[in-house]
């Protein structure tokens, strides 16, 4: 185990993956022993890990225990947060109705919170998750009002990260709705903000989405630079899902620009990663 605190975020994220079985086991033990606050706290740490590593059976069980623990402890904010966290692995497994029910309860609970900045931030998050589920189900038009409402909540409390995140989601929505110039503007804003905030994961992800928008606009050299930066970031975090997504995009970009050698190299790397990681390495939109 490395010395604590970890020297950088990448080292910490790699440690989470190396120790994931023990950490998921700790959630189970805490919940079974009635340590409800500790179980919820462990789930919060594992949320970041889940974003890079789709171990669905483990995370669905853990977050389900987290919801139950939060309900038992009668902490409304924790219950809202845990229901949102559980909803994502559910919808990524296409268990849409279960995810929708968790988010219905989460949003209803969030509406009962007060007007303190942390309450408004959590309320915005619950609304954002509802919009994400709509987007995953292909209803981007329904997602946009939720992302806009969440962005206004974050803007009202001065939460720059929240504003950046909603701008990113609105940019993705604009791409899906065929509004390419607007999408490029939104994603450029989000990418610039993520970099200024020093948020490495979101810098990579906003960069990837901006690269895809630029690629659709035939601005291939700019897209390639952003894809390569996203690939480096995914490998630094040891995030197979993100790495595979970027490799597939680089393969497609190389084919579009008739760079057959590069396309062959990226395709081989993607195939090797699929064999190595299996289903857990395959991201589901």
How confident is the model at residue 3, as a pLDDT?
56
- At residue 2, does pLDDT exceed 60? no
User: Which carries the bigger pLDDT value, residue 80 or residue 47?
Assistant: 80
Stretch 167-183: mean pLDDT: 97
How confident is the model at residue 6, as a pLDDT?
67
Stretch 133-140: mean pLDDT: 97
H or E element, residue 196: helix 180-197
What gap in Å lies between CA 269 and CA 249, rounded to an integer?
Answer: 12
Half-sphere exposure (Cβ direction) of 73: Cα atoms closer than 13 Å: 23
pTM of the model: 0.83
| Neighbouring C-beta atoms of residue 221, cutoff 10 Å | 9
How is 121-188 classified by DSSP, letter by letter? HHHHHHHHHHHHHHHHTT-HHHHHHHHHHHHHHHHHTT-HHHHHHHHHHHHHHHHHTT-HHHHHHHHH
- At residue 115, does pLDDT exceed 50? yes
Stretch 244-271: mean pLDDT: 96
For residue range 179-191, what is the model confidence (pLDDT) as tens digits?
A: 999 999 999 999 9
CB 229 within 8 A of CB 210: no
What gap in Å lies between CA 79 and CA 82, rounded to an integer?
Answer: 5
- At residue 224, does pLDDT exceed 60? yes
For residue range 10-36, what is the model confidence (pLDDT) as tens digits?
A: 677 677 777 778 888 888 999 899 899
CA dist list (Å): 59 to 38, 99, 107: 16, 14, 22
Stretch 135-146: mean pLDDT: 97
């Amino acid at each position: 185990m490395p010395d604590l605190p970890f020297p950088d975020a990448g080292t910490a994220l790699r440690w989470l993956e190396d120790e994931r079985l023990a950490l998921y086991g700790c959630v189970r033990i805490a919940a079974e022993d009635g340590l409800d606050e500790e179980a919820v706290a462990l789930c919060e740490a594992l949320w970041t890990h889940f974003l890079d590593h789709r171990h669905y059976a483990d995370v669905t069980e853990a977050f389900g225990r987290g919801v139950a623990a939060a309900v038992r402890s009668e902490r409304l904010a924790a219950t809202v947060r845990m229901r949102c966290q559980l909803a994502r692995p559910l919808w990524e497994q296409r268990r849409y109705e279960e995810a929708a029910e968790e988010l219905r309860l989460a949003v209803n609970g969030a509406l009962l919170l007060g007007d303190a900045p942390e309450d408004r931030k959590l309320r915005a998050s619950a609304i954002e998750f509802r919009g994400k589920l709509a987007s995953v189900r292909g209803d981007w038009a329904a997602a946009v009002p939720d992302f806009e409402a969440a962005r206004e909540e974050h803007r009202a409390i001065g939460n720059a990260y929240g504003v950046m995140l909603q701008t990113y989601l609105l940019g993705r929505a604009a791409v899906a709705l065929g509004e390419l110039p607007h999408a490029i503007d939104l994603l450029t804003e989000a990418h610039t903000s993520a970099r200024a905030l020093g948020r490495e994961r979101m810098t990579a992800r906003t960069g990837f989405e901006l690269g895809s928008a630029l690629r659709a606009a035939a601005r291939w050299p700019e897209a390639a630079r952003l894809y390569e930066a996203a690939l480096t970031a995914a490998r630094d975090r040891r995030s197979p899902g993100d790495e595979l997504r970027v490799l597939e995009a680089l393969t497609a970009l190389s084919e579009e620009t008739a760079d057959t050698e590069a396309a062959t190299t990226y395709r081989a790397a993607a195939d090797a990663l699929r064999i190595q990681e299996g289903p857990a390495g395959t991201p589901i939109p």
